[in-house]
Structure formats: structure tokens, C-alpha cells
Structure 1
Amino acid sequence: MTSTLDSSLSRPERRRGHPWLRRCLIAAVLGLITVELALGRPALTSALTQLRAPHLGWLLAALAAALAAMGAYARMQRRLLLSAGLYVPLHRELALTYAAHSLNETLPGGPLFSTQLNYQQMRRFGATPAVASWCIALSGILSTSALAVITALGALADHGTPSWLTLVGLTTAVLLTTVGIRWITRHPETLLPLVRTSLAPINRLRRKSADHGLERIQAFLDQLKAARLTPGHAAAAATYALLNWLLDAGCLWLCLHSVTDQAITSTQLLLAFCAGMAAGTLTIVPGGLGIIDNALILGLISGGLDTPTAIAAVVLYRLINLGFVIGAGWITWGLVLRQTRREQPQRISTG
């Protein structure tokens, strides 16, 4: 028995999935980037020449905008926790935001690691499993909705004549989502019939009783009653979600001004930014390397910039976001979050 146990412990764990597929995809993307660099060598050389002496004032302003964007995202999540009656010091939420962003952008499968870190740290802040899950999910919904709103408004401004059907549809979707979330957190028991119906066939396959696990799910849903998204906190969180994207786009605009005096309208730059961020959600490459960059460059070129200038602005923008901000996040994770012990939560009354 002992030898069997020892041999089972000595065997390496069986890897799941197909890691070779991910490696092949990453290698293909890197190969594509290499080919693009070789073909675009003249434009890249000109762009690097422009990067040698960026305007210091504009560069510092771009750095400040990037930091302000991270601060806005941290304040959004903090507002959601406040709405659930949990007070978290701003510096703790900022540290979590930087660390989670770095994991998300630099590791293969980064969103999974980022979500896990967010969940663990929110539990350390004192959030229940349901409140932590609710806050993470709602953060993603707010951030995605804010980008969609900015993209829609940019498109409307660019075309001059607004598409009222698109605007009304987007507004209705946001309002219905907000109302639905508030209803679920106030009346989580309404989900029990749906949960029971969905759980029965799963338990049948597992050869368990029909209600197996229902008590744990019910306890989880009961915890959601603490997550009261009040109108004030909802409005503040939505505002911070919008500011997060707008300040990030402002960082790109300031990077552009630090390397050139060429003109581009704010609407065209905003659309290029939104296209780049949207493209980044469709890639498994860490940081959207090559995907976001190409989308941003093409967007700026379509806005009237020449290729070297667009490349220079995007390279500088990515150096700030993939260099400084992510570097600060890894330092935060290593020196702050890993050393943090569990603290007593500070709860406030939600009314």
C-alpha cells in the first residue's frame, strides 16, 4: 500500500488541455510580427527616430493619465464593495488593481489568474464568496458596457447624424442589466426554481439525489442580499468605468502629441482606441501583443496620420501600459499583496 502511494505521489501530474496548441498559436503570432517588422522596416526606423526625443511634458502627462485610468478602475471596484457594505482602503484596492492587471496582461490565460487573485484578495478584505463573485462579475459588465458606450458615442459623433436605434438599444440594454442585477441581489430566492430545475439533470448524471448541493447554492444566494447596488453607488461605479477608458484613451492622445504635431480629431483617435481595445479581447496572446498594436496603428493611419508617426505613438503608449504600469503591478504583487495577512473587515451600513 505504501509503495503504491509513493509511486502515485512520484508520478507527475497529468496536464490538461492542449498546451502545444497554445504554443503553436503564440509562435504563429510572433512569426507574423517578425514578418511585419521585416516588411515595415523603413517605417519602423523612422518611428524609432521620432521616439528618441519625445516631448517631456506630454510624456509625463501621458504617464499621469495612465495612472489616473488605473485609479478610476480601482475606485469602480471599491464603490461596488461599498455598496455591499464593505469598506476597503483605497490603497489596498489600488494595489489589487495593479497586481490583477499585470497578471491579466502578461500571463497566458491571464484573465483566469487575474480573476483568482481578485477573488482571493476580496475574501481577505472580508467579502463573502457571493459578494466577491458578484463584484468581479459586475466589474466586467460595467467595464465592457462603458467601452461599448464610448464606441457608440464616438461612432455617432464621427458620422454626424446619430443612429437613434443603436443609441436607444444600447441605453435600454444597460438599464435592463442594471435593474436585473438589483432585482437579483434583493430577491435571490427567485433564482431557486431555475437552479433546482438545472441541478436535477446534472445530479441524475452524477447518480445523486435531485436536490444534492442545493443547500450550498441557496446559502450562496442568501449572501447576495448583502450586495445592494444603490443608485448612488451604481452611478459612481459607472462613471469610474467610463473614466477608466477615457483616461486610457487620453494617454494614447498625449503619447501622440509627445512625438508629433500632426493633427487628428479626438473622435478619430477615440475610435482607433476602441478598435484596438476591442481587438485585444479576441486574442490569447499575453497583453494582446501585435493584435492591439496593429489595430491601433491602422486606426490612427485611417485617421490621417502617416505610418511612422502612428507607430511611434502606439509604441510609446504600449511602453507605458505594458512597461511601467505592468511593472508596477508585478512589484505590487510581490512586495505588498503576497505579504498581506488576513485583516478584520470593516463593514458599514448599507441602509
Structure 2
Amino acid sequence: MRDFVPGRAVPTVIIERNLDDDGPDTAAPRRTRPWLRHTMVTAIVVLFAVELVLGWPSLVSAMSQLRAPHAGWLAAALAAELIAMGAYARMQQSLLLSAGLRVPVHRNLALAYAAHSLNETLPGGPAFSAKFNYQQLRRFGATPAVASWCIALSGILSTTALAVVTAAGAVASDGDPQWFSIAGLVAVIALIVIGIRQVTRRPEIVDAPAGAVLARVNRLRGRPAGQGLDHVRAFVGQLGSARLTAGRGAMAAVFAVLNWGLDAACLWMCLHAVTDQPVSATQVLLAFCAGMAAGTVTLVPGGLGIIDNALILGLVAGGTSMATAIAAVVLYRIISFGFIIGAGWITWLVMRRRQRDS
């Protein structure tokens, strides 16, 4: 879903050192030493145990507010979250198609689950998630340039989609959306796409600025001024395969909006699952956007405590009782965080095992 909260932050763009390689890695796979693999697994288990111990008091308090939810609404909430993950996978698939890569949706979906879990549960998760995304895209057949482009653009699309959903909530509640921010994000996407098109059509235009930057860097490193320029030219040449048409760009944008919209719908359905009182979709949407915005400024894995409190306060401000808000948010986080993260880690383990066996 998401390399931003939950798991959708704009990821770091990774450029591979060997830029002359136009395809997936052909070298023999490196075998991880058994002791190192066991150390990594132990570290992850210890990390989860520490997070559980630290969050246990809050979890027990929250769970005490949760009563038996309505089965129908619970199933609908789970379905909405699963479809939201599918929408994110479809967004990435659309971007890969623009580069001529036809990757089955189930592989994109597996990558979305695994990368989301890395992003949400590990300290410095976005960096781990971005690296994992990059490695898998290279396995899909993407060149270093296309993989970096796809990761960057998917993050920007996801951020813009959240801004669009927030604006929709503000308009529905007769508020004043941040049109300038949305316009700025749209302009950034347009400039990136236009810039890539210009560079791929006239790759020589990067020689002067890239040469000037490399000359200064190489001067500090005591190396020849033009060292590395060939790698930059090769990287730019690889971008020639990335041709994001208006149709595929619009499709990717729609899937990005659906990803956030269905996530918000999951929260709305969780409210219906725990109460028979009328629930304002507009107020739920505003609370959801406030919670996701709060999650962007936290270093706590998964935004635990930060997102939850923001969601609860947002729902209470919209007229929901405190007990109902707590129960709904607990149920929502069990689905969107607990279930999805668990499925993501299982997917990650399966992917790692298949890669070792291949």
C-alpha cells in the first residue's frame, strides 16, 4: 500500500552502483551465512517483543473497550482493507507497464504487503522498505533508472492522493481545503513526468549540469573531474523506456486515491461494526485524514499511539462517544495494522525463501 503511513511515505530513491546493467542481476545469488540469518531473525523477534511490552498497557486498556463487533460490518471492513492493498499494487503495476514491464498483479501485491510491513514495523522502516522495493523491481526486470523512477513516482502519487482525499473531506464538511498544497503536489508530478520525457528525448541536456556537479564532487575526492559521467549518461539512457502516457498516469492516480479512500472506508465500517448510532462519513473522513497526517511526523513504528489518539480525538470531535471511538479505532488498527502487517511479514518470509531456493 503503501510506502507512506500506514506505509506510504515517499521512499528514498536508490540508484544502483552498476548503472551499465540494463537488466536484473545476473550474478550468482549470495548465500547468507546461517549465523547472520539467525541473528537477523532473533533481532526482529526481540524488536517485536519490545514493542509489545511497551504497548501492552495501552493495548489492554483499548481492548477493554471493544465488544463483539457486528460480523457483517467486520467482514466488510476487512474486505475494504484488502481491496485497498490491491489498489496500491495496481498503481505500481500501472507504472511498471509504462516502462514496458508486464508484472502479474499477484507479484505486485506480494511486494506491496512485504514492503508495507518493513515500513511499518522496523525502525527506519521507509529506508528498508525502499531498498526492498528496489531489489524486487530489479528482479521484475526493471533497470536501475526505471526502478528508482517507479519508487519515487509511486510515493509522490500516494502523497498527492492523500491530499486529494483530505480536500474532498474538507469540501464535504464545508471547510477550506489546502488547494495550494494540492496544486503544488500535482505540479511536482507534472514537472517530473515532463522532465523525464525531455531528458529521454535529449539526454545530452544533462551533460552540462551533471558534469559541473561531478567536477566539484570529484575535486573534493581528489579524482578526475569527469569520473562517473558515463554512469550518469547510462542511467539517463535507461529512463528512455519509462513513457508514462496520460491514460496510464490517470489510472495510477485513480488507484492511489482508491487506496486511501478504501482505507478510510475501513474505519467507517469499523464504526458501524461497534455501534448502531448514525455515523457521519464526512466526520470519519476528516478524522482519518487527521490521523494519517499525525502519523507522518512520528518515529514510532506504525505510528502506534500517535495515529490511534489522533483518530480517536477526531472521531470524538465529530460527535462520536469516547467509548465508541476507542472501540472502532482498536478494531480498525487490528485490521489495518495487525492483520495486514502479519500477512506482510509472512509474505516477506515466503519471498525470501523462494529467492534463496532459486
Same fold (TM over 0.5): yes
Corresponding position: 1:185 with 2:200: no
Counting only pairs closer than 5 Å after superposition, residues 333-344 of structure 1 correspond to structure 2 as: 333-340=348-355
The normalised TM-score by structure 1 is 0.81
Contact 2:218 2:227 in 1 (8 A): yes
Q: Give the 5 Å matches for 1:287-326.
A: 287-326=302-341
Counterpart Cα distance in 2 of 1:289 and 1:154: 24
Q: Matched residues in 2 for 1:283 and 1:193: separation? A: 40
Question: What is the CA deviation profile of residues 147-174 of structure 1, one whole-angstrom value per residue up to 9, with x for unaligned ones?
Answer: 01111221122125x56xx43x345434
Residues 3-42 of structure 1 correspond to what in structure 2 (within 5 A)?
Answer: none
Q: Secondary structure at the match of 1:88?
A: coil
- 1:102 equivalent in alignment to 2:117: yes
| Amino acid of the structure 2 residue aligned with 1:77 | Q
Q: Go from structure 1 to structure 2 and tell me whether the alpha carbon gap of 1:341 and 1:124 turns closer, same or farther (over 3 Å shift).
A: farther
Flag structure 1 segments of 5+ consecutive residues without an equivalent.
1-22, 344-351
Offset at 1:266? 1.3
Is the contact made by 1:125 and 1:342 (CA closer than 8 Å) also made in structure 2?
no
- Output the amino acid matched with 1:119: Y
Query: What is the alpha-carbon distance in structure 1 between the residues aligned to residue 263 and residue 271 of structure 2?
Result: 13
CA–CA distance in 2 between the matches of 1:258 and 1:325?
19
Report if aligned partners of 1:149, 1:170 keep a CA contact under 8 Å in 2. no
d(CA) in 1 for partners of 2:343 and 2:129? 15
Q: 1:115 to 1:139 in 2, by over 3 A?
A: same
Alpha-carbon displacement from aligned partner over 1:107-133 (angstroms, at most 9, x marks no partner): 111111111111011000000000000
In 2, distance between residues paired with 1:263 and 1:303? 12
Contact 2:115-2:129 at 8 Å conserved across structures:
yes
CA distance in 2, matches of 1:341, 1:135: 25
Q: Does 1:232 align with 2:247?
A: yes
What root-mean-square deviation, in Å, do the aligned CA atoms of Structure 1 and Structure 2 show? 2.6
What does 1:1-351 align with in structure 2 at a 5 Å threshold? 44=62, 48-49=64-65, 51-159=66-174, 166-167=178-179, 169-170=180-181, 172-188=183-199, 189=203, 190-340=205-355
The alpha-carbon distance between structure 1 residues 338 and 183, as it changes in their structure 2 partners (threshold 3 A), is farther
Structure 2 portions without partners, runs of 5+: 1-46
Distance 1:319 1:37 in 2: 11
How far apart, CA to CA, are the structure 2 residues paired with 1:149 and 1:221? 31
**1:12 paired residue number:** none
User: Is residue 187–residue 225 contact of structure 1 (8 Å, CA) maintained in 2?
Assistant: no
Distance in structure 2 (CA, Å) of the matches to 1:135 and 1:68: 21
Alignment length (residue pairs): 307
TM-score, normalised relative to structure 2 = 0.79
1:279 positional shift: 1.2
Q: Could you tell me whether the CA contact under 8 Å between 1:100 and 1:117 is conserved in 2? A: yes
